[in-house]
Structure 1
Amino acid sequence: MLAVKHLSHRFRNGDEETPVLHDIDFVVDKGEMVALLGSSGSGKSTLLNLMAGLMKPTQGSILISGESIERMSENQLAEFRRTHIGFIFQSYELIPHLTVRENVELPLVFQGMKAKARKDKAVALLTKVGLGEKTEMFPSQLSGGQQQRVSIARSLVTEPAIVFADEPTGNLDTKTEKEIIDLLIELNESLQITFVIVTHELEVARRTRRVIQLRDGFLVEDELWAGEEQ
């Protein structure tokens, strides 16, 4: 599903190069739910950007569904992201003047899906994440946890191969954080969607079945957990 092979990355500033990632190597299988754990400066955000095709690595390769994304052109990458990758953001990234349903439908607009089919799919997903009665509301009318549920539904609407969640509970209180992780676990199990959750919180990471930990740009731990509070 996702294979990161001997990945290294350096940022260049004039004649100076700053190494950020060092020979990162791991595989995520289809249907896994994995946490990418690291503190600020560990390299996890850079690794996320590389895996999502938003940057190209200095060395190494990244394969998603057997495709080497580092070899793709910008146009190819844009199309690949639209069809293979879902994103969940810490700040939700919802469009305020669109309804909840329209926000979820938006990726399907870019795919050229007809209006009725888009609406039916969006409503079905919103119902699955517990927002079936709020489809015609606007993001400003929802709580933070509800807005993140909209973001989760939007990430799944194109039936991606993999979903990257970037600090998905970072703006939420403890109770809502648990509810969102519970929802992601349920979706992972029921839909067999592959999730990579990027977080600096050990409590969040340990809810998943596997933790990949970065420190100072090195992979320091790749461990299976029994999963807490599943």
Structure 2
Amino acid sequence: MLVVQKLSHSFLNGTESTQVLAGIDFRVERGEIVALLGSSGSGKSTLLNLMAGLMKPTEGSILIAGRPIEKMSENELAVFRRTHIGFIFQSYELIPHLTVRENVELPLVFQGEKAKIRRERANALLTRVGLAGKTELFPSQLSGGQQQRVSIARSLITEPAVVFADEPTGNLDTKTEAEIIDLLIELNVNHGITFVIVTHEHEVARRTKRIIQLRDGRLVESDAESDEDALLHGEVGT
């Protein structure tokens, strides 16, 4: 479903090239929930931008739903992202003058969907994420955890092939962090939604089914269960 093959990327600074990713190979199957774990400088943000089609790789390919996104034009990528990729951001990225429901509906507005269908789908998703009674409030009237639930609902409105969650609990306290990860796991288990959670937090990574670890631009893939002790002792990603 998501296939990364022989992926490398370098940044050019004048005449000097700096490699940040080298020979990345992995796949995420439909219905998986996977953590992409790495410390600052590991290359995980660059990898996320490449997988989301926001940058072109120096070498290699990225297939989402069977399509090589590195070969798409900017216009093709924009359309593809709107229909096949969902995003959950650390800072929520909600529009303050739109209601909760209108924020969730927004991706369907860009697709030209009818207002009645937009409203029905948004309300259904908001119920699913536990915000049924808050659809007409504004983001400023919600807690941080509630705002992230709105962001999660918005990421699902187009029924994407994969949802990338970029440090989704980075702005939350420990209790709310656990609640948000519980919600992502519930959506994965009960609704088959594919998640790639990008994080530097060992506790978040340990909750997923599989860990894909980046270190110094290179990839080490392992199962979350087998790495549990290492994560508890802070040995992964150091």
The question of a shared fold, defined as TM-score above 0.5 by the shorter chain, is answered with: yes
Cα distance in 2 for partners of 1:137, 1:77 equals 33
Q: Specify the SS of the correspondent of 1:214.
A: strand
Cα distance in 1 for partners of 2:142, 2:218 equals 39
Contact 1:211 1:225 in 2 (8 A): no
- Structure 2 match to 1:28: 28
TM-score (norm. length: structure 2): 0.94
Alignment of 1:66-81 (within 5 A): 66-81=66-81
- Structure 2 match to 1:149: 149
- Structure 2 match to 1:60: 60
Runs of 4 or more above 3 Å deviation: none
Tell me how many residue pairs correspond in the alignment.
228
- Structure 2 match to 1:203: 203
Cα distance in 2 for partners of 1:208, 1:196 equals 9
How high is the sequence identity, in percent, across the aligned residues?
79
Deviation at 1:98, TM superposition (A): 0.1
1:108 aligns with 2:80: no
Deviation at 1:226, TM superposition (A): 7.3
Contact 1:209 1:227 in 2 (8 A): no
Deviation at 1:47, TM superposition (A): 0.1
TM-score (norm. length: structure 1): 0.97
Deviation at 1:74, TM superposition (A): 0.2
Alignment of 1:1-230 (within 5 A): 1-225=1-225
Q: Specify the SS of the correspondent of 2:160.
A: coil
Contact 2:104 2:151 in 1 (8 A): yes
Cα distance in 1 for partners of 2:224, 2:74 equals 35
For 2:10, the aligned partner's letter is: R
Deviation at 1:14, TM superposition (A): 1.0
Deviation at 1:227, TM superposition (A): 9.9
Contact 1:207 1:227 in 2 (8 A): no
For 2:11, the aligned partner's letter is: F
Uncovered stretches (5+) of structure 1, i.e. residues with no partner: none
Root-mean-square deviation over aligned CA pairs:
1.1
Deviation at 1:220, TM superposition (A): 2.4
Cα distance in 1 for partners of 2:72, 2:227 equals 36
Deviation at 1:225, TM superposition (A): 2.5
Q: Specify the SS of the correspondent of 2:134.
A: coil
Counterparts in 2 of 1:13 and 1:158: CA distance versus 1, 3 Å: same
Deviation at 1:159, TM superposition (A): 0.2
Counterparts in 2 of 1:26 and 1:138: CA distance versus 1, 3 Å: same
Counterparts in 2 of 1:226 and 1:147: CA distance versus 1, 3 Å: farther
- Structure 1 match to 2:231: none
Q: Specify the SS of the correspondent of 1:165.
A: strand
Cα distance in 2 for partners of 1:64, 1:222 equals 22
Cα distance in 1 for partners of 2:60, 2:111 equals 31
Uncovered stretches (5+) of structure 2, i.e. residues with no partner: 229-238
